[in-house]
Amino acid sequence: MLPTVTLKRGREKPVRLRHPWIFSGAIARSPAVEPGTIVEVRDTQGTFLARGYFNPTSQIRVRLLTWDEAEPIDTAFWRRRLVASCARRGGLAADAGTTAYRLVSAEADLLPGLIVDRYGDWLVVQALTAGIEVRLDELATQLEELLAPRGIYERSDEAVREREGLPLRVGPLAGEPPPAAGVEIRENGLGFFVDLISGHKTGFYLDQRENRELVGTYARGRRVLNCFSYTGGFSVAAAAAGAARVISVDSSEPALQLAERNLALNGLGDRPNDTLLPGNVFEVLRGFRTEERRFDLIVLDPPKFAHSAGQVEAACRGYKDINLLAFQLLEVGGYLATFSCSGLVSADLFQKVVFGAALDAGAEVQILRRLSQTPDHPVLLSFPESAYLKGLLCQKILEV
């Protein structure tokens, strides 16, 4: 029999609802085992509830893998889950215009703690938990057998690993290391260089793919301001769609250098009115307001502002500030695509903040679309935490 975690009386409900996390506070007795060990979870009567991997260091003591007592967690289990997750991306794999997407999205794909992204011939993996960490070589071997990539690169440098008692680690796991100059991928028919070694996350914000395409459809002939542009995802989409001008603002110089290469890669390198502007968006927007600059399409895609519940209020002040400035810079009839990737800020709360910003900016605003993450970053119903990216496509229809 496997080591057993016994829950406190009355704490089995989330497990029965198939939520994959068991917090330390729900546990009555746990075994003395190494991080990553497979355990069984039972109620006080000893009834089997689920099976998962254990980490005594993490507040999330167990991440559940199966609720089926007859399903062992063995090599065949991991293989089945990997195969199924990759197979769910079949539609994307068949689209020659897009060669970069998420193959495994951790809990939401029933593989807690594991991220696998495909960038052309390379895979990038993140092991976010001890349970994945101890099996990473086995999982990498399986990914090699399944997908035959040119190389697998590890980007286990997310700060959440520290809460699991794991060090940050980056480096090649299998095959060839990716080129330092960047891997060339395609997204919606456009080309991008992605820095797999030191870019953000695993290199590219794959969760915004559909929103970039959507913004492109509004960009023709418009003066576009892309705030928090990173390597130019929205900028390339807007310029390729025939925007009159595109200003990209980011505080990271390497990101803007890559944005420049990405515009050039798509034959958009010599548009005289486009600008790559290094700077702090909060300050740049204030400067533009002083100069009475006007735009027809603004994108606000900031980094995560709220990393813990205690930061939600300050995050909302940040969101309100930039959205207020954006509404002031928008021409009547202009569009704002505004996002939050803070999981702790709900879609409802975000909409309220954007409303407050519009009121204070003297703008009457319509929501044309509610936006979210791409389907290769799915939301598992039993794990609502997997819904993190929310956005609104707004139109300013009056100045009041």
Residues with a catalytic annotation lie at: 341
Site string (337-376) toward ligand SAH, x via CB under 6 A: ----------------------------------------
Query: Binding residue for ligand SAH (CB under 6 A) from 141, 188, 251, 257?
Result: 251
Question: What is the DSSP annotation of 287-335?
Answer: HHHHTT--EEEEEE-PPP--SSGGGHHHHHHHHHHHHHHHHHHEEEEEE
Our finding on whether 303 is near ligand SAH (CB under 6 A) is yes
Number of residues written out for the chain: 400
Q: Degrees (nearest 5) of the Cα angle 276, 281, 285?
A: 95
CB of 204 to ligand SAH, least distance (A): 6
Our finding on whether 388 is near ligand SAH (CB under 6 A) is no
Our finding on whether 275 is near ligand SAH (CB under 6 A) is no
Site string (169-208) toward ligand SAH, x via CB under 6 A: ------------------------------------x--x
Q: Tell me the three state secondary structure of residue 183.
A: strand
Q: Tell me the three state secondary structure of residue 398.
A: strand
Contact call for residues 332 and 302 (beta carbons, < 8 A): no
Distance separating the N- and C-terminal Cα atoms of the chain: 70
Our finding on whether 255 is near ligand SAH (CB under 6 A) is yes
Q: Helices 209-217 & 233-240, crossing angle to 10 degrees?
A: 30
Our finding on whether 233 is near ligand SAH (CB under 6 A) is yes
CB of 209 to ligand SAH, least distance (A): 9
Count Cβ neighbours within 10 Å for each residue of 45-55 and write b for 16 or more, e otherwise. eeeebbbbbbb
Instruction: Indicate the residue among 175 and 191 with the shorter CB distance to ligand SAH.
Output: 191
Q: Which residue in the shown chain puts its C-beta closest to ligand SAH?
A: 233
Query: Binding residue for ligand SAH (CB under 6 A) from 40, 154, 187, 301?
Result: 301
Our finding on whether 105 is near ligand SAH (CB under 6 A) is no
The answer to whether the Cα torsion of 16, 17, 21, 26 is positive or negative is negative
Summarize as ranges the residues that interact with ligand SAH (CB under 6 A): 205, 208, 228-231, 233-234, 249-252, 255, 280-282, 301-303
